[in-house]
Amino acid sequence: MSQAVRIETRGAPLARPVTRKISWAWLGLAPFFLFAILFLLWPSSSLIIGGFQDPTGNFTLKNISDLFTPSILNSYGLSIQISAVTAIAGALFGFLLAYAAILGGLPRWIRTALMTLCGVASNFAGVPLAFAFIATLGRTGFLTAFLRNTFGFDPYQVGFNLYNFWGLALTYMYFQFPLMVLIMAPALDGLKHEWREASENLGANSWQYWRYIALPILLPSLLGAMILLFGNAFGAYATAYALTGGTLNLITISIGQQIAGNVLYNPNLGYALALGMIVIMAVCIGGYTWLQSRTARWLR
Amino acid sequence: MKKTNFWAWLWIVLGAVYFFLPLYGTLDFSLREQRGILSLLAYQNVLNDPHFRNSFAFSATMAAATIVIGLLLIVPTAYWVHLRLPQARPIVEFITLLPFVVPAIVLVFGFIRIYSGPPLALTNSAETTNILLMFGYIVVALPYTYRSVDAGLRAIDVRTLTEAAQSLGAGWFTVLFRIIFPNLRVALLSSAFLTFAIVVGEFTLANLLNRPAFGPYMVLLGQDRAYEPAALSIMSFALTWAAIGLIQWFSRGAQGQGQLAGTR
């Protein structure tokens, strides 16, 4: 905002006639808006509209009501479950890690190393990540073989399977908790020493400090980060596809099958599937942005 | 050792195990193609595979095009918003957040709906599909690129630099390419490396648009080989590490540059 005010008061550009300035200035953004319309807004709005049309182009709500059939609800449910599980577990583990590195009294280099590793790990996703977990925890993977040969313990004998829900969740965790560390580190840095000292001077113990001061301040960024983690897993396609070969019926996998035409082909139902995803993602990102703006108040 | 210190160490060690164990496992696995001995056979097989070279070259070329066109589109836009149109900032920022709302799988679905028929049948030839794919990559990388460039512009005095250049007789082209771009080199290099890492490993867009990129090649190889995918995984990890390492090296000292991205 201060930028805007300063520009207004500087004067020089205002010397031109006002109407002409406005039209020319907006023209400078024309390439960007053209790009955004052609490759982002038009394609996604065409799916939203397509979700409300029948194959001949007439308005209908049938596709939307068809979303509430068991198999499609299962798809959404599975995606929501895996996103929620990895968001909560990732947030918990990521928070503890960030807390340990920043406020745990460890040497400074631990923190630097952790941030670098998390930067790498949160970007190491998709097909290579799936391969890494297959090589490590697959039926003949390194860790599976090690456990079997050394301890006579076969994880696959006791119900573990990398290619089902929990295996995929374990794989998603590899990019989930580092993301949490990266988001929480600035928020934990924002906890001022003075607050703790002030609360101790007033006789608060450690639990009271956390319950009444630190946690309320951190809560918006904690929740915001969890929402972001949720969306992060919800939109994932490549990792799940490469790991399970499309056998796990996630919503992204279903949409991929619709595009490839491998299922009973009803494009308009496919558009409605995509519409459902857009709605869920929009709620996530909207919630995240709102919580972020609440956090910003304390992080000065 | 204090009690808090013990718990802190415990979580750090657990995190390190989660991070390094799959990497070590993959590395070990990738070296065992020949029974009984450690060898680089899997790596040799991958590197000698013409499909590997072709698909990697294709993706690297796409990444270069994405970086150049993307920056030519985004830097002037962000610059213009800073200098002349601060009132457009909320709209532009909203658009740059949209790729989070529209995941790659949904985006490519929309592309196919719009561009597989008239009036703009881009998917009918390989060349135009490549162009579509490149713009798709620009969309996927848009949030990170825009933020990086925006942070870079905040750190320099855009107005003074522009006015100084103009009073010395520079035109808009000179201002942009000889003043603004060089002053943003840290931000530009960061976003370039990040874009490169995203595009080279990308699977969703390339696969569903049927282009012979590196991501789909990896999945194909994963379906009928055991050790080569592990070798590929180690190689792409090295690539990610190099990209992120270079970003952190270039932007050392800059605050709050924790970049997060990727194609899940």
Among candidates B136, B230, B258 on the partner chain, residue whose Cβ is nearest the Cβ of A119: B258
- Mean pLDDT confidence for B70-86: 93
pLDDT at B20 over 70: yes
pLDDT at A230 over 80: yes
DSSP codes joined into one string, B28-59: HHHT-SSTTS--SHHHHHHHH-HHHHHHHHHH
- Looking at the predicted complex, does its ipTM rise above 0.95? no
pLDDT-derived band at A134, boundaries 50, 70, 90: very high
Residues in chain A within 8 Å Cβ distance of B5: 104-106
**B230 residue type, one letter:** A
pLDDT value at residue A8: 47
Q: Which residues of A17-37 are buried (b: 16+ CB within 10 A; e: fewer)?
A: eeeeeeeebeebbeebbebbe
Write out residues 111-140 of A within 8 Å (CB-CB) of B: 114-117, 119-137, 140
**pLDDT tens-place string over residues B105-144:** 999 999 998 998 877 888 888 999 999 999 999 999 999 8
pLDDT at B256 over 50: no
Q: What is the rounded distance in angstroms from the CA atom of residue B253 to the CA atom of residue A183?
A: 18
pLDDT value at residue A299: 57
Write out residues 84-123 of B within 8 Å (CB-CB) of A: 84-88, 92, 95, 97-114
pLDDT value at residue A4: 46
- pLDDT mean across residues, chain A: 85
pLDDT at A17 over 80: no
| Interchain CB contact of A31 with B (< 8 Å) | yes
Write out residues 188-227 of A within 8 Å (CB-CB) of B: none
Q: Which residues of A210-232 are buried (b: 16+ CB within 10 A; e: fewer)?
A: eeebbeebbebbbbbbbbbbbbb
Nearest chain A Cα to B153, which residue?
Answer: A3
pLDDT value at residue A269: 86
- Among A262, A248, A60, which Cα is nearest to A172's? A248
Share of chain A above pLDDT 90, in %: 37
* Residue of B56, B71, B109 to mutate when probing chain A, most A C-beta within 10 A: B109
pLDDT value at residue A183: 87
| Interchain CB contact of A261 with B (< 8 Å) | no
pLDDT at A170 over 90: yes
Q: What is the rounded distance in angstroms from the CA atom of residue B121 to the CA atom of residue B114?
A: 8
**pLDDT tens-place string over residues A99-109:** 999 888 888 88
pLDDT at B51 over 80: yes
| Interchain CB contact of B202 with A (< 8 Å) | yes
Residues in chain A within 8 Å Cβ distance of B15: 93, 97, 114, 177
Among candidates A39, A124, A131 on the partner chain, residue whose Cβ is nearest the Cβ of B135: A39
Q: What is the rounded distance in angstroms from the CA atom of residue A41 to the CA atom of residue A61?
A: 22
